[in-house]
Amino acid sequence: MTKRNTNNHNHTLHYDAEYAGFDLHTANAPYILQFLDRLHTVMQRVLQSHKRVLAVKFDLHLPTHTNPYLQRNAITEFIERVKAGIASYQNAVARRNQRVYPTEVEYVAKVEQTTDSELEHYHVVLFTNKDTLYPVGNLSHEDPTKLGKIIRQAWLKTHGLSADSRVALLHTSTPVFRVLQGPLSTDDPVHRDAFLHFSYLCKEKTTKYQGKRQSFYSSNAKNKAPA
């Protein structure tokens, strides 16, 4: 089996049933090793930053007509809007003289496109401090949770759509969210199950290769979204 990705020679294919002591679904192999590395790094870092981490996995779909004024890639714009939404919520909490729980906003995101689809879609795992905003719902227009509204409105606004739009562009996985306690460890069954679930983003199949644009995005040590 070749270990070099013929679609991107900078990527190494990973066929093993585990990565760094974490199990992988062999049905999804091969994985892209560099994507697994970045998922592991993000999980390790956010679990060092917060005692309890809320991890939300969901899919983002593009509207038929995307925002013509979108200057950056959609994931960058989306993440910046999520951060702004959380900051606005925290400011409102502070004005009520209530305790504000700070949070890092960490994430991994993968661009995919199947052969029968006209548009790409995005798989995302978002990590925040569980004490900042909890819980989160199904991200539909009926989701009453604050974090659910922030995520949904961030994606709609990215594409120039009304925050009240009922269009179904966001879909959650099962489970919608997980609560993790650090540090990251292969001895923790919750961590093992979460990594197994999130590793879906790292599979090579259906990855959309975009030339100069990335196929896989993740927060970095400075917690900034890529351009």
Q: What is the pLDDT along the chain (227 residues), one digit of tens a residue?
A: 658 777 666 899 999 999 999 999 999 999 999 999 999 999 999 999 999 999 999 999 999 876 656 667 899 999 999 999 999 999 999 999 999 999 999 999 999 988 787 888 999 999 999 999 999 999 999 999 999 999 999 999 999 899 999 999 999 999 999 999 999 999 999 999 999 999 999 999 989 887 667 899 999 855 444 43
Provide the residue ranges of all domains of the chain, joining segments of one domain with +. Answer: 38-218
Closest by CA to 153, choosing from 78, 92, 56, 59, is 78
**pLDDT for position 6:** 72
User: Is the Cβ–Cβ distance between 154 and 89 less than 8 Å?
Assistant: no
Spatial separation of the C-alpha atoms in residues 224 and 227, rounded to whole Å: 9
The dihedrals phi and psi of 140, each to the nearest 5 degrees, come to -80, 175
**SS3 at position 120:** coil
138-153 per-residue burial string, b: 16 or more CB within 10 A, e: under 16: ebeeebebbbbbbbbb
In sign, the C-alpha dihedral spanning 72, 8, 171, 173 is negative
Q: Which amino acid is present at 18?
A: E
Whole-prediction pTM: 0.93
The confidence score (pLDDT) of residue 70 equals: 65
pLDDT computed for residue 1 by the predictor: 63
